[in-house]
Every structure is written in structure tokens, then in C-alpha cells.
């Protein structure tokens, strides 16, 4: 799990900043995720990607997110939500696209804002590959973070 967390450290540094006491964001993320990060698959221990979070906090996640792919793009859509203290139209979306076989990722910080209700992200390097997709929102000033949400695995279509 350490290698995976280090590969997405750009997201973890912001997403776990509030949980640091006397350690680093990576250590905080490892501690937070370690109880549910592994599964046994045919006598082999594997990472349980849907359960691993790169961000924790009070900012609301997307409402009813949808995930699709076309033309080497990954398209994420969500429904509008009423504004509140932890849900502002100006909240910024961060997206992680992770290809487990190559153990590589594409990170989009500030991929879009909540009021846009969708983002289309380039993923041409993963055409015909299955990727895990995650999203989180943060406040416009970056001071507040939300829980990262696993959106699912999909094949990137050309």
C-alpha cells in the first residue's frame, strides 16, 4: 500500500493535512486506510482500491455521480446540490485515474468546479485498459477537504 499511496501523494498531502499530528500525510493516510485496504483474492493479498481514501473531510461529495468513457476521455457527471456550508458551487473537484496493472496514475487537481456538473478528462494513455476512478471536492480556497469517493472501474474507450 505504501507504493500506491506514494504514487498519489499529491492528493494525499492535501487530503490528509487535517489529520496530521506528529507524522506525515502519507503516514496518516496509511494509518487511516490500513484496516480495510487489503483483500484476499485466491490466496493472494491485493489492494482493495474501492476502500482506500486519498482525502477525508466534511466537504460534500458529488450527488449521484456517473462515470463513462469515449474518445480516450473519462467523463464524470453529477447532479446539482443546494449550497450549504460544506457544499459550495465553487468547490473544486480532484480526480484520480489509476491503472492497477501498470501501477500508474493520472491526477487532475482542480479538474473542474462543482457548478459545472461534469468534467471530461484525457486518459488516452489508458485506451482499452481498465482503470479505477476516484473523485473528491475541496473548498475553493483549499482549506477544507471532502472524502474521496470511489466511482468504479471502467475500460477507457477510444
Task: Mention every residue, 6+ apart, whose C-beta is less than 8 A from residue 33.
Answer: 1, 5, 51, 52, 53
- Band of residue 153 on the pLDDT scale cut at 50, 70, 90: very high
Q: Checking phi first, is residue 85 left (phi over 0); if not, alpha (psi -120 to 50) or beta?
A: alpha
pLDDT tens string 93-141: 999 999 999 999 999 999 999 999 999 999 999 999 999 999 999 999 9
Q: What pTM does this model have?
A: 0.93
* Residue length of the chain: 158
Average pLDDT of the segment spanning 23-50: 91
Q: Which domains does the chain have, with CATH numbers?
A: 2-155 (2.60.40.10)
Distance CA 44, CA 49 (A): 15
What average pLDDT is seen over the chain? 95
Amino acid at each position: 500500500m505504501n507504493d500506491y499511496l506514494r504514487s498519489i501523494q499529491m492528493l494525499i498531502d492535501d487530503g490528509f493535512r487535517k489529520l496530521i499530528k506528529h507524522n506525515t500525510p502519507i503516514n496518516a493516510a496509511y494509518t487511516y486506510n490500513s484496516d480495510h485496504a487489503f483483500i484476499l483474492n485466491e490466496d493472494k493479498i491485493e489492494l482493495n482500491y474501492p476502500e482506500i481514501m486519498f482525502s477525508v473531510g466534511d466537504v460534500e461529495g458529488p450527488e449521484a455521480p456517473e462515470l463513462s468513457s469515449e474518445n480516450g476521455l473519462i467523463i464524470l457527471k453529477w447532479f446539482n446540490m443546494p449550497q450549504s456550508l460544506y457544499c459550495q458551487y465553487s468547490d473544486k473537484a480532484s480526480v484520480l485515474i489509476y491503472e492497477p496493472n501498470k501501477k500508474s496514475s493520472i491526477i487532475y487537481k482542480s479538474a473542474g468546479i462543482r457548478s459545472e456538473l461534469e468534467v471530461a478528462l484525457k486518459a488516452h494513455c489508458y485506451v482499452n485498459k481498465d482503470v479505477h476512478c476516484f473523485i473528491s471536492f475541496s473548498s475553493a480556497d483549499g482549506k477544507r477537504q471532502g472524502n474521496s469517493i470511489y466511482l468504479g472501474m471502467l475500460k477507457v474507450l477510444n
